Amino acid sequence: MAIDNDPIFSLDIIGASEDVTSTNCVLRQNKTRMLGRGSMDNMVSIRNETLFNRGWSVPESWDHDWTKDLGPVWTPENLTNIESWILPEYFHPEESDETKCVWANNRIGFDEDAETLGTGGFEQNDSGKMPVFLRNTSHRNFNGLKFDGTNDVMRGSSGAMWNVGTANFLCYVAFLQTDSDEKQPVVAKDDKGSFLLEADWSSSNISATFNMADNELLVRMNTGADGFQIIGFGRGAGVPTVQKQWARSYNFGTETIALSTDTTDLDDAQKPGLGDAVGASFSDEFDGVIYEVIFVNDDLGVGTNISDGTKDKIEGYLAWKYNVQGNLYSGHPYENEPPRMDDLRRA
């Protein structure tokens, strides 16, 4: 069927554009004909079945602006060398206490039927250290993982996770820091010996610090949007042979890059951690909410994903998903529209 002859020009979900848990939604065809009314999950399932049966790529459940011209929103699933993609849709509650998270599954390669963590995910078997779920109405009602600032921590599935060796890598974290008197660890591979992202929301120094092999890079964080942050960090400047440490804050569009070439071997036997510095002693552990973590390891394949275009797409995806696109700096490629898929039809 030719695209121009397909009567499905758009399928809009009305009444839930800012809420992923809405119970009163309308599915509308071509902005006029109502196809159904009910919960968001039900309307999404009807829309997705309609699109799938007609050969269209299916958008994310929160992407309510699908049209045949725009296509679905681009997501990290399109990256070739992604190792971990941790996001609210793949958080799993503890059976004995559904307010706590026991698994944060890796969306890449995850088999839901197997009901196991798999590789590239995070878990916490100690109920006393499990972060609790916390919904935020400002960010489309997604469930984040609330860490208490003392005990809560999630550990990676194996010590081999995030071992990038001397290769390029990038990591993006969407989080909200709720309390801080000094630097607090957000994500880490092995304290500063490998790499660590620290957040500082104290009034005197609102910033994020990326430590890699005991070298520090600092970027300023935004004070608006209730403290919600999207911070990227890693190594590589788009060319595999030029490895530079970098950190980037989406709020201001600023990027800090180390001046010297770095080829430190960052393999380490420690499991990476969320909300903890992996064995290091901090007077403050992370007190806040982690929503999403994207980790790209260029050691997994040929080529590089560590380019400004990739960073821009990840920032655009995260900003629009969590309804903070207004904080993207003026002139950002995706300040007015999220990144979109190039192919609108299924392969």
Residue ranges of domains in the chain? 3-53, 76-327
Instruction: Tell me the per-residue pLDDT of 58-90, one tens digit each, with 9 for 90 and over.
Output: 999 999 888 888 889 999 998 888 999 999 999
Q: Report the pLDDT averaged over residues 237-259.
A: 72
| pLDDT at res. 4 | 62
Strand arrangement, sheet containing 25-29: 11-14, 25-29, 33-38
| pLDDT at res. 145 | 98
The share of the chain scoring above pLDDT 90, in percent, equals: 53
Based on DSSP, count helices (H) and strands (E) in the chain, helices before strands: 2, 19
| pLDDT at res. 2 | 47
How much is the mean pLDDT over the chain? Answer: 87
Fold annotation for 76-327: Jelly Rolls (2.60.120)
- Exposed / middle / buried, residue 85 (Cβ in 10 Å: 0-12, 13-18, 19+): buried
Residue 100 in contact with residue 148, Cβ under 8 Å?
A: no
Read off the pLDDT band of 1 (50, 70, 90). Answer: very low
Instruction: Tell me the per-residue pLDDT of 131-149, one tens digit each, with 9 for 90 and over.
Output: 999 999 999 999 999 999 9
Residue type, 229: Q
| pLDDT at res. 204 | 66
Residue 3 in contact with residue 346, Cβ under 8 Å?
A: no
Residue 268 has pLDDT above 70, yes or no: yes
Total Cβ atoms within 10 A of residue 260: 8
